[in-house]
Amino acid sequence: GENVEQHPSTLSVQEGDSAVIKCTYSDSASNYFPWYKQELGKGSQLIIDIRSNVGEKKDQRIAVTLNKTAKHFSLHITETQPEDSAVYFCAATPPSGGYNKLIFGAGTRLAVHP
């Protein structure tokens, strides 16, 4: 089955710097790759997603890139702010009878220092 590896497990940056989190997946048929931000007491919120027919997607300071050949995708946060501090999870969706069975990475704890 699908397996998602996420790196790094922790990431510490200075405010204003960029942060990059990388994920690899094993099932080449996976076709949907969301990123979730998890904050204490706020649950998990979708911040950006990308589908397999697109190589890059951007939303303000957040971007995701997908390399289907290498089976990896990355989250890029530019001009980081303290409120970006959270745990970020990537996920992949292998074909599973047509529905979204999200397979998650282990998470990256991002700390943005003022």
Q: Does 94 bind another protein (CB under 8 A)?
A: no
Stretch that binds another protein, among 13-21, 33-41, 60-68, 70-78 (CB under 8 A): 33-41
**Number of Cβ within a 10 Å radius of residue 88:** 23
Residue appearing with tokens 């303290």? 82
Task: Dump the DSSP string for the chain.
Answer: ---EEEE-SEEEEETTS-EEEEEEES-TT--EEEEEEEETTTEEEEEEEEETT-SEEEETTEEEEEETTTTEEEEEE-S--GGG-EEEEEEE---STTS---EE---EEEEEE-
Candidate ranges 11-19, 30-38, 55-63, 77-85; the one touching another protein (CB under 8 A): 30-38
User: Is 107 among the residues that bind another protein (CB under 8 A)?
Assistant: yes
The interface region with another protein, picked from 11-19, 54-62, 64-72, 93-101 by CB under 8 A, is 93-101
Total residues at the site for another protein (CB under 8 A)? Answer: 29
Check binding of 53 to another protein (CB under 8 A).
Answer: no
Q: Which of 46, 54, 56, 67 binds another protein (CB under 8 A)?
A: 46
From candidates 58, 61, 101, 113, binder to another protein by CB under 8 A: 101
